[in-house]
Amino acid sequence: MRSIDIHAHLTPQRFWRATENGGDWHSLRREQDARGRQIAIVGDRRGGLPPKARWTPEERMADMDSLGVDMHVLSPYSGFYNYALDASLAVASSRDSNDEIAEMVTAWPDRFAGLGTLPMQDVNAAVAELERIMTTMGFKGAMIDDKVNGKLLDEPEFLPFWKAAEQMGALILFHQGDGTLVDFRTDKFHLPNSIGNLADRTITFCSLVMGGVMDACPDLKICLSHGGGYTCYNIGRIDRGWQGAPDSPTKPPMPPSEYLRRFHYDCIVYTKESLRFLIDTVGADRVLFGTDWPYDMEFDWPVSWVLSLDNITQEEKDLILWKNLENLLGL
């Protein structure tokens, strides 16, 4: 039995080194707060980084060993999308970040695979960087935010990106970066994360389906992190919305529920009942092992958790833990 983690972030060592003595990394800076916590400063945003985010590849692999995780499909830290920065800075930071992931994959090919980050505020540059990492560096795809400077990914300007991702066979992993919908309501109780992430993923599902992206790109490979948010539980209401939506050139010919199996979903839903619901709604072949390493919302003992579930069959556990990702990414 193996385990491959689709949801494991990397804060580049290049960032840590460049900011060691007050320097900047493509304009990003770092401070330490009164309690000794490391704070990354990106434009006017400040984000706390957990101690594990600083770990070297060797330390990371030791932790993976203790967790029973064989392989991380590395994705960059979502606080470093840098979409709001000048495009040239995002191009440079993306290349730098992706180069570091490539080095890790080259050095430890049986422990790491790569998902890149892309300067999505410049679609042409994003396509170029996706092409660079897919065709010359062996990446499996890229991780992007649910929105780019407020725009959803169904905007026509992104269609060339989707066509390119489809043609390259790149897996696109969706993960919030610059806040979520809930930030517009409240910053209390960690709700921008605990509810906002799930709301944003649901919006992404709906916008890609209702906006015609999934019809325009039938072979596109998408993974919605955090189990796709509320998508599967709320799909009945989403179907009703489709029924009532006026006809438009992009309105899909089938109800959104028919597109559920066009997506993949990680298993970060926290309860065995919700995981069962997800599997029953989208199929066990669509659910991927993910942990959210190294943040506080990660599973404490992710492999043990999956293995311990008494309402999931062993065959389903094997699919989730490694078989689906082997198939999907050719690992």
Partner 1 sequence: MRSIDIHAHTFTPTMLKTMAAGQEWYGMKYTDAEQRNIFVREGKIVNVHPKCRFTPEERVADMDQMGTEVQVVAIHTPVFGYHLSSADGIAQAREVNDDIAAFAKEAPTRFAGMATLPMQDVDAAIAELDRAVNTLGLKGAELDTVVNGKTWDEPEFLPFFKAAESMGATLFYHPQPQHNLMLERTAKYGLNNSVGVPVEDTLLVAALIYGGVMENCPDLKVCVAHGGGPACFGMGRMDRGWQVRSEARVNITRPPSYYQSRLYYDIVVMSERSLRFLIDQVGIERVVLGSDYPFVGWDPSPTGWLQGLESITQEEKDMILWKNLEKLLGIETTGN
Closest to partner 1 by CB, 202 or 324: 202
Closest to partner 1 by CB, 8 or 198: 198
The contact set with partner 1 (CB under 8 A) reads 147, 150, 152, 154, 181-182, 184-186, 188-191, 193-195, 197-199, 202-203, 206-207, 210-211, 226, 229-230, 232-242, 244-245, 269-271, 273-274, 277, 280-281, 296-297
Closest to partner 1 by CB, 113 or 181: 181
- Please report how close the Cβ of residue 191 comes to partner 1 at its closest, in angstroms: 6
Q: For the CA atoms of the chain, what is the radius of gyration?
A: 19
Side-chain half-sphere of 172: how many Cα atoms within 13 Å? 31
Closest to partner 1 by CB, 31 or 296: 296
Q: How many angstroms separate the Cα of 113 from the Cα of each of 110, 133, 230?
A: 8, 12, 28
- Please report how close the Cβ of residue 107 comes to partner 1 at its closest, in angstroms: 32
DSSP code at position 157:
G
- Please report how close the Cβ of residue 97 comes to partner 1 at its closest, in angstroms: 26
- Please report how close the Cβ of residue 152 comes to partner 1 at its closest, in angstroms: 6
- Please report how close the Cβ of residue 150 comes to partner 1 at its closest, in angstroms: 8
In the numeric block, the tokens 């689906």 are attached to 324
What kind and span of H or E run contains 62? Answer: helix 57-67
Closest to partner 1 by CB, 24 or 273: 273
Burial class (CB in 10 A: 0-12, 13-18, 19+), 296: exposed
3-state percent helix, strand, coil for the chain, nearest multiple of 5 = 50, 15, 35
Instruction: Say how many C-beta atoms besides its own lie within 10 A of residue 215's C-beta.
Output: 16
